[in-house]
Structures are given as C-alpha cells and as structure tokens.
Structure 1
Amino acid sequence: MAKANKAYVLFGAPGSGKGTQAEQLVKHYGFVHVATGDLFRENLKQNTPLGQLAKGYMEKGALVPDDVTARMLKERLQRGDEAPAYLLDGFPRTLPQAQMLEEILRELGIRLAAVIFIQTSDDLIVRRLGGRLICKACQTPYHKTNRPPKKEGICDRCGGELYQRADDNPDTVRARLATFHSQTAPLIEYYKKAGLLHPVNGEISAEQTLQEISEILKKY
C-alpha cells in the first residue's frame, strides 16, 4: 500500500456522533485517524518539546495556541503512514486553523479531498449528551438509552465505574454549542466556497449516516 497522499476532514458539533463515525470509517476503509485530542495526549505522555510547550499553557489555564496544535499535526502527518487516506478529526475548528491546515497539507504534498460535516440539531444533541456516560478507567462511552452497559453503572469492557461528565448537563451543552456555531460558521462557508463541503445527516441512525458518508467517499 502506498503512503497516504490525501486527507478527509470530519467535523461536527459535540454529540453529533463524530467519534462513532470516525471509528467506523477507520474500520471499513483503513484510514489513519488523526484526532487532536490523541495528539495532545501522545505529546504530553512522551514529554516531547511540543508537549512541554502545550503543558506550560495548560498549567496556566490558558488555551494552547493554534500554531502549537498545528505543529503537532504536521509532525504526525510527516511520519508518512501507509494507508488510503488520513481522517482528520478536531482540526480545523476555526477559519485560521483551516488556513494553517491548507499550508501544512501543501508542504507535505497531501490533498484535502473532502470535508464531511455531520449536521445535527442542537435539541437532539442536548438530549444525546444528557444521557452520555463515560468509564472512569478506560474512557469507553455509553448512553443511557442508545448504548446502555450490560450492568447499570459498570463498564462492559473493564468493569470500571461509569459517570456523567459535568459539562454534559443541558446548560453547559448549549453554551458549548453556541461556541461551536460561532467558530464554525465561517469555516462552513469557507469550505463550501472551495467546493469541499459535504453535509450529512447526523439525526438518523449511525449506520445510515455511515452510508451517506460512504456515498461521498465513492466519488474520491
């Protein structure tokens, strides 16, 4: 298999089902999933220079600057994985980040093939996240109605205790969504003008959403 020379961006609001779709796309297509959260954890765990830099901002309670995140992403893509494509998750979230990504991909000779946007109403997301549970030990996600554990309050995978994150309460979720919309509105317009934006329905079943994404991927 040749080294990946194209990338897809997968984005959507918190609770849109992005994580579920990323997992399935990796499984079905062999994409390399590059998630911003994973990059931070890897760099912090390995105490890399970029990890140390990010940690300094985090310890002060400050946001990690875009250029630090972009450098983490570039370093990761420079490894040159053998795969059909990269699936980028969590970057870009803003217009300046999109412009940084464009420069990184150009330097590395990677083509941005499509931007897949999972559209979901705010009301549905509030309902979804209100039922979300996370394992304290292994971070496996569950849902009270959509994906309940076999035993209430206990993780199927490791037996750890399940809990609800404080930021999954309705008021906090709506505040997070307001931030998401204000940041991503210019981003959506940017990719729409570039002819790269492909909206999919995030309010149907996960299987149906995956089918919509698969139809888009067939074009590439």
Structure 2
Amino acid sequence: MNSKIKPDIIIYGGPGSGKSTQAELLVKKLHAEHMNMGELLRDAVSRKRAGWQDVKKYMDKGGLVPERITSQLVHNFVAKAPKHRQIVFDGYPRRLLQIKLLRKVQDKFKRQAIMVLVDLPNKVAKERLISRAKIEGRLDDANPKTVVARIKVFQERAKEVTGYYRQQKSLIKINGDQLVEKVARDIWEMVSAL
C-alpha cells in the first residue's frame, strides 16, 4: 500500500453487527468521507436525477439495485472525494462482483482499501435483530424466519468477500460481540496503526 496515503476502510459485517454504527464513529474519528450505499441510493431517488428513475422501482420491491447503478454511484463518490482523505465504505461492497468494480475505481483514482470485518456469532446477531425490531420498530427484523434468512444470505456471501481481502492480506477481524465502545476502540487500534 502507498505509505503516503492511508487506505480507505470498508466496514463489513452481517445484520445486527453494528457495522453502520462503527462506520459512523470511524468517520468522525478520522474526519473521513462516508460512503453509505443506502444513503446514496435514497439521495438518487429523492433528487429524481435523470437516468435514475429505476432505482426507486428496485428499492420499492426490496430487490437488489443493479451493479451498473451502484458502481456508478461509487465511481462518482470516489471521484469527488478529496485525495488526501480516507473513505469509509458502509454497505458496499457486499459481493465479489462489487469488489471487482470497486477495485477498478480505486485503481483509477490510485486508492487502496482494507476491510474491517465486525464478526458476530449468528445467535447473537439474531438476538440483536429481534431486540432491535422491538425497540426501533424495524419491520425487516420483526420476523425470526426473515432474520435467520438474512443471516444465512450474509454468511454465504461473506466467505467469498472476506476471502478476497484475506488473500490480499487486507482483512482485519474484530470481535463484534462487545460493547459498541470496545468494538470502536479495537477498530481504532488496528486502523490507526496502518
């Protein structure tokens, strides 16, 4: 990795792992750019940008937004990010194809990335999601069968995603079964040493 520029950081974890919370905390601590795919998609829909009308259709159906759309959003975000500031990726990449598309964008803009895996046992993830549904009223977490299915889908995808970064020697694994503050400290200890 380029020693002058710190690598971008991908916060990755399954449902209920606290990855978005950790991404937000890290963005504040690093004064980094925050690339949150969900927010980018919602913004594209709300602005009614030309050519982005289909995004709302995919989101309304709960389907996956096509790679051509998400990769364009990522490209635009990275292109606008100041070169001297790190980017914390939240909610992207989630699949091997997205990793390859992100890698092309990073190569174009001479950026590198590491992945921080917020690791959480399935049982704890299920408990957190069901509890979150009760507290926050999140419908996607209210049905235990849906929760189990979401965790299973994540586990299936996680093998190839984390495998890629492990092979690149760019994977940091953090125990997510701790207090939010402890997880944040563990992440900070690892990324500040880069």
Q: 1:165 aligns with which of 122, 128, 139?
A: 139
Residue 122 of structure 1: aligned partner? 122
DSSP-derived class of the 2:80 partner: coil
Letter in 2 for 1:115: M
Letter in 2 for 1:130: I
TM-score by structure 1 length?
A: 0.79
Residue 99 of structure 1: aligned partner? 100
Letter in 2 for 1:203: D
Using the TM superposition, give the Cα deviation of residue 80 of structure 1 relative to its aligned residue in structure 2, in angstroms.
2.5
Q: 1:54 to 1:209 in 2, by over 3 A?
A: same
CA distance in 1, matches of 2:130, 2:58: 30
Q: 1:196 to 1:59 in 2, by over 3 A?
A: same
1:43 lines up with 2:44 in the alignment: yes
Residue 21 of structure 2: aligned partner? 20
1:181 lines up with 2:193 in the alignment: no
CA distance in 2, matches of 1:38, 1:219: 29
Once the two structures are superposed, residues 67-88 of structure 1 have per-residue CA deviations (whole angstroms, 9 ceiling, x without a partner) of 2101111111211237631000
CA distance in 1, matches of 2:62, 2:21: 30
Once the two structures are superposed, residues 122-178 of structure 1 have per-residue CA deviations (whole angstroms, 9 ceiling, x without a partner) of 110111111115xxxxxxxxx74xxxxxxxxxxxxxxxxx52424333211110011
Higher relative contact order (CA 8 A, sep 6+): 2
Query: Structure 1 or 2: larger helix share?
Result: 2
Unaligned runs of 5+ in 2: none
Query: In the TM superposition, what are the counterparts of 1:134-213 in structure 2 within 5 Å?
Result: 144=135, 163-213=137-187
CA distance in 1, matches of 2:6, 2:75: 14
DSSP-derived class of the 1:91 partner: coil
Q: Is residue 117–residue 200 contact of structure 1 (8 Å, CA) maintained in 2? A: yes
Q: 1:78 to 1:50 in 2, by over 3 A?
A: farther
CA distance in 2, matches of 1:204, 1:29: 22
Once the two structures are superposed, residues 12-57 of structure 1 have per-residue CA deviations (whole angstroms, 9 ceiling, x without a partner) of 0010011211121122221111111011011111111352242354
Q: Quote the sequence identity (%).
A: 28
Query: In the TM superposition, what are the counterparts of 1:72-83 in structure 2 within 5 Å?
Result: 72-81=73-82
TM-score by structure 2 length?
A: 0.89
CA distance in 1, matches of 2:27, 2:159: 27
Q: Is residue 31–residue 83 contact of structure 1 (8 Å, CA) maintained in 2? A: no
Using the TM superposition, give the Cα deviation of residue 61 of structure 1 relative to its aligned residue in structure 2, in angstroms.
6.5
Letter in 2 for 1:91: Y
Residue 155 of structure 1: aligned partner? none
DSSP-derived class of the 1:9 partner: strand
Q: Is residue 23–residue 89 contact of structure 2 (8 Å, CA) maintained in 1? A: no
Q: 1:31 to 1:63 in 2, by over 3 A?
A: same
CA distance in 1, matches of 2:145, 2:78: 37
Using the TM superposition, give the Cα deviation of residue 217 of structure 1 relative to its aligned residue in structure 2, in angstroms.
1.1
Residue 85 of structure 2: aligned partner? 84
